[in-house]
Amino acid sequence: MKKKQKQLTSVVTGAAGFLGSHLTDLLLKRGHKVIGIDNFVTGSVDNIVHLGGNPNFKFIQQDVTEFIFLDGPVDYVWHFASPASPIDYLQIPIQTMKVGSLGTHKALGLAKNKGARFLVASTSEIYGDPLLHPQPEEYWGNVNTIGPRGCYDEAKRFAEALTMAYHREHKVETRIVRIFNTYGPRMRLNDGRVVPAFISQALKNKAITVFGKGTQTRSFCYYSDLIEGIYRLMMSDYDLPVNIGNPTEMTMLQFAEQIIQATGSKSKIVHKPLPQDDPKQRKPDIAKAKKILKWEPQVKLADGLTDTIAYFRTKV
């Protein structure tokens, strides 16, 4: 008789957030039992309401900086809890730092206690305003520790350092993903990031705000591509940081024009002063992800924007 395979259990911190909720959906689809943890500081019940009544999903409303006590076995811990937008850094800088430090410590403690594999959602922000382009994982970054973005950048840098300390001292199996700009349904409308900002302005036919001359670049990865890459990283046996993002780079001016076209908006573009420490260019070097994970983005920007705009039409 064939032995029944054990159902895997995943814990997702930040499960009600933009990426955490999409990750939860993917894990459930792949047969995992998921325990989601969130305190709704930036997450939303709307992102997980469709999981109500799912026998494989359990939700705990808790701040991850508090001790995480769970009964039963855990196979994977995915640490996604963190405010992640420029508005948050200005409004809740201390909470942002606490979730990156204390929250990561508690999540790692859970993984150690359960003998689980741990993945931390780090960020391209650890490269700061990069002096090297595109950014490979070996680049150490150019970060202003005391600037307005320092609370997020340093929290994530600390989270990476702590993850490696647990890996080396306690032999915890750890994975580090550095996430570059990602977009898609379930982003917060007013979180200050460029995709929701431009789309909501365009849908209301308001002026689209471009900072500086609009020559600064970003590269946008659709959420489904990103989550697939992260899943592959967790299931791989590679324990150093891996960039996951889309290397197709564009200027903010080009992006604003594309949004106007995609929404059929009457918006005009207006320029405002560049915020302090705003990175001038962002583009991942994804050679490692291609080689180790056999991963690269599949969704074209035009297709991803169609779904994202449709989502925002229901919210504006």
Which of the residues are catalytic?
Answer: 152
End-to-end CA distance of the chain: 55
> Do 124 and 180 touch, CB atoms closer than 8 A?
yes
| Integer angstrom CA distances of residue 216 from 70, 146, 160, 199 | 45, 22, 27, 18
- C-alpha 79/C-alpha 137 separation (Å) is 20
Residue 115, C-beta contacts closer than 8 angstroms, at least 6 positions apart: none
Tokens found for residue 79: 């640490």
Half-sphere exposure of 40 (CA within 13 A, CB side): 9
Dihedral angle sign, alpha carbons of residues 111, 112, 116, 121: positive
